Amino acid sequence: MGEIIERPSVSPILWNADTEVCLFYAMRGHKPVGINKHFHMMGIHSKFAQSLGQPVTSAQIWEHLSTMYNLAVLDESDALPFNNNVKHFQLPEDILNFGKDKTKKEQHEAAVKTPSTAKSSSNKDLQLQSKSTPPSAKSNRKRTRNVTSVSPAVGASGPGSSKRRR
């Protein structure tokens, strides 16, 4: 049914100057704060694990970054790329009560009457259109070119010949 995937054991990271430099290089171009912090962390995690050469979890990176920076304050100070003001909104009463005034019988009658009136008006429109348009416009057939026969005196290079020069 389901496949069990065994992940390699993750050992603790020995944080020294070299591993922190690797982390900073991995963070280049990625900012782990703000609205897209988790997407940026994916990039940081990938680059850092590759440069370190051992399995690393993003939780280990978050934990170390939280010892270096106050991530909560950085999240709040990061400007959003859009306006995120919360406003109270409520639909107008006429929209909320739309259709509640009519009874189900009236709604059914209205639904039954609507298609028949639309059909009769569309038939009238078609009749008026067919009377006003000329017969050539009614035809949807393709026009074909009338090909005249070539007289032998004119030759193959004359007008109306099937061979054309380019």
SS (H, E, C) 44-61: HHHHHHHHHCCCCCHHHH
- Whether 148 is in a domain gets the answer no
* Residues 68/71/76/77 CA torsion (nearest 10 deg): 30
- Whether 29 is in a domain gets the answer yes
Q: Are 75 and 37 in contact (CB under 8 A)?
A: yes
Q: What is the pLDDT of residue 127?
A: 58
Q: What is the pTM of this model?
A: 0.45
- Whether 52 is in a domain gets the answer yes
Domain extent at residue 70: 17-77
- Whether 2 is in a domain gets the answer no
The CA distance from 77 to 34, in Å, is: 8
- Whether 92 is in a domain gets the answer no
- Whether 1 is in a domain gets the answer no
Contacts of 57 (CB under 8 A, 6+ apart): 10, 45
Which pLDDT band holds residue 36 (cuts at 50, 70, 90)? confident
Which pLDDT band holds residue 95 (cuts at 50, 70, 90)? confident
Q: Give the total number of structural domains in the chain.
A: 1
Q: Are 46 and 58 in contact (CB under 8 A)?
A: no
Of residues 36 and 126, the one with the higher pLDDT is: 36
- Whether 45 is in a domain gets the answer yes
